Amino acid sequence: MANQYRTHSTDTLCPRCGTPLQEREVGIMVAEFPEPVSWVVDKRWCPKGCQFTADEIG
């Protein structure tokens, strides 16, 4: 059973440039269901390549 991912723009702004951050979520799979039963944030990043820490985005 392979992980499923989805990526989308968020309402959270980059603390450096103010661009909306992108977010990747990974699906939580359960053997008896073909689709993820839940999604959790895997990582966030600025599409412009800004560097920041998790503490800076709250």
Q: What is the pLDDT of residue 39?
A: 87
pLDDT of residue 36: 83
Predicted local confidence at residue 20, as pLDDT: 97
Strand pairing class (38-45; 5-13): unpaired
Q: Residue 1 has what pLDDT?
A: 60
Query: How confident is the model over 2-54, as pLDDT tens digits?
Result: 788 899 999 999 999 999 999 999 998 888 888 888 888 889 999 999 999 88
Query: Which residue has tokens 């998790």?
Result: 54
User: Is 36 in a helix, a strand, or coil?
Assistant: coil
